[in-house]
């Protein structure tokens, strides 16, 4: 069993395999990507291979769904979109995303997340999605706001990333918020 492929106009969100380890290493070793990630930058392929194994294990457990993001005309992973800490009894999950800097500023992540959010609220019957964002990551903050998320809180020094205490801005999106933004009752 594996995640379904989700299609967006310019992108595919697909199941990650061990063959994606080099692309994941390229993504998560990039200092501009790792700066706001909840773990230090990767430095070797074995870390990317372990990530793929962990993603597949957590999928089997049902508490994390992570897709590889590819351009529609290519198979190389350029980013990831994640539903983490999936809590089916409370119908909630945390949203995570990363995109290689070569593809920033093109609207690709907004397109990918719109498809993922629709999938979460429809096929997975989620009620609430949350995003935990470093307040210095202004592009991700703006993206969540454009997707309809509401800023719900600010937590000081919540994470230690690469030896540095980092704050968090919490965002939430309810299924009913999404319905209103799409103009449905």
Q: Are 143 and 109 in contact (CB under 8 A)?
A: yes
pLDDT digits (tens, 9 = 90+) for 132-158: 999 999 999 999 999 999 999 999 999
Residue 152 lies in a domain: yes
Domain, as residue range, for 77: 6-181
pTM of the model: 0.92
- 1, part of any domain: no
pLDDT at res. 17:
96
Sign of CA dihedral 3, 83, 108, 75: negative
pLDDT tens readout for residues 86-99: 999 999 999 999 99
CATH assignment at residue 109: 3.40.630.30
- Please determine, for residue 185, whether its predicted confidence score (pLDDT) is greater than 50: no
Q: Starting from the edge strand earliest in sequence, which strands make up the sheet with 11-14, in order?
A: 6-7, 11-14, 64-71, 77-87, 92-99, 128-133, 164-174, 150-161
Distance (Å, rounded) from C-alpha 72 to C-alpha 70? 6
pLDDT of amino acid 74? 92
């Amino acid at each position: 069993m594996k995640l379904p492929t989700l299609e967006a106009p310019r992108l595919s969100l697909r199941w990650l395999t061990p063959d994606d380890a080099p692309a994941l290493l390229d993504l998560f070793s990039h200092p501009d990507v790792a700066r706001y990630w909840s773990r230090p930058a990767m430095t070797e392929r074995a870390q990317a291979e372990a990530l793929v194994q962990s993603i597949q294990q957590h999928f089997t457990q049902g508490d994390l769904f992570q897709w590889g993001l590819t351009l529609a005309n290519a198979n190389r992973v350029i980013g990831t979109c994640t539903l983490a800490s999936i809590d089916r009894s409370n119908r909630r999950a945390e949203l995570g995303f990363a995109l290689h800097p070569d593809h920033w500023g093109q609207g690709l992540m907004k397109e990918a997340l719109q498809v993922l959010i629709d999938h979460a609220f429809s096929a997975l019957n989620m009620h609430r999605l949350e995003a935990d964002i470093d307040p210095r990551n202004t592009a991700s903050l703006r993206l969540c706001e454009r997707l309809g998320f509401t800023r719900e809180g600010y937590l000081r020094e919540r994470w230690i990333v690469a030896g540095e205490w980092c704050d968090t801005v919490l965002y939430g999106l309810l299924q009913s918020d999404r319905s209103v933004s799409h103009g449905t009752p």
